[in-house]
Each structure stands twice: as C-alpha cells, then as structure tokens.
Amino acid sequence: MDQDENVQQEILERARAGQREALEAVFADCLDFVRDKVRQLAPNQARDRHSDLVQSAILQAINDFKSFRGSSRLSFLAWLGTVVRNTMLRKKRYWGAGKRAAATSDSDVNLLSATTRTPSNEAIRVEYLVTLASALQTLEPADRDLIEMRVLNELPYQEIAELTGKSEAAARMAVSRARASLSLALGRLQAPDA
C-alpha cells in the first residue's frame, strides 16, 4: 500500500467515525466520478437534469455512508457507483410511473404471484449468502474487490479497468481469476466433511 492509499484509507476511516471534514473530503474527491457515472447512465438527459441526478446520488450516498463496509478507495468507488446506479434507477422509475399500465390480465397476476418468496426458498437463499460471504472473506483483498465490483455491483469491465489502472483485457483476466478463486473457496466451504 503506497502513501496515497494510506492517506485515503485514513480519510475514509475518519469519515466513518463521523468527522464531517473528512466526509466532505471523501465526497468532494469523488464528485467527478459521480458526474461521469451519471453521464454514462443517462446520456440523453438534459444538462440540468444531470446536475439534479448528481445531487440526488451524492445526497443518497452521504445518507447511506454508514452502510459502506470497505476499507479502500477502490471499494468505496465501487460502492459509490452502485449508489449512483440505484439512485438513477429509482429516478427512472419515478419519472416513468405515469407511463406504466396496470396489470389487467390473469397471466399478469399469475406472473406476479409466481415470484413470491417461500420460507424454505428464503432459508436456502440466506444460507447461500452466508456461505458466499464466508468464501469472499477467504479471498485476497484484490480478488474480493474485483468480485464486488463485477459480480455484486455489476460494473462494466471498462470501469473496472479504469478503477484498477489496468487495460480492459487485463481487468477481464483478473476478474476471471478472482471468480475461479471464489469458486474454489465455495467448493471448500460446501464440501461435506470427510
């Protein structure tokens, strides 16, 4: 870890501890990232709408900052990208709410009821998520960050390449290796004791 990473990590820790100046520094440093992400996700929106989206995303991220669990700038940017994307999706649903048609046919109602969670499905899902979390903790931090960015946060390879300072091809290969490591870790955790 170089000195810049140590300083960034220290600022993140101070922000997490509730220090307002550190929180402002963290988000001021990432403002261009949020603007670029908004432009990427909503290229056809008017410029004034972009600024509203940036403001909404930053406000949401500040409100949700206590839920950020990472320790590096890289994991913070991945988390922030997810917050921006989710904010954009909520805004898109809000703006499109008047254009939706209500489900009127029986097939639409059946389709909606088919997605209902059952207690057993929920228990299986929770058990798998616990196993997945345990497997992620056994990975190297770099592999864990790559998995979080690509699989959990669904970042495109181009963005992962930018965040990690690699070419897109190298980012793809690194994610592939991280997935292989995760698969092996899951296999070890799910294998019955011999």
Distance CA 100, CA 96 (A): 7
- For the chain, give every domain's residue range: 3-96, 119-188
CA 65 to chain centre: 13
Q: Return the CATH fold of 119-188.
A: Arc Repressor Mutant, subunit A (1.10.10)
Contacts of 82-86 with C-beta under 8 Å, sequence gap 24+, read 82/152, 82/153, 82/154, 83/57, 84/34, 84/37, 84/38, 84/41, 84/57, 85/37, 85/41, 85/153, 85/154, 86/60
| Range 3-96 has CATH code 1.10.579.10 | no
Digit-by-digit pLDDT tens for the chain (194 residues) are: 566 777 778 888 888 888 888 888 888 888 888 888 888 877 666 555 777 888 888 888 888 888 888 778 788 888 888 888 888 888 777 766 555 444 444 433 343 344 456 777 677 777 777 787 788 888 898 898 898 888 877 889 998 898 889 999 999 999 999 988 888 888 887 766 54
Please count the residues of the chain.
194
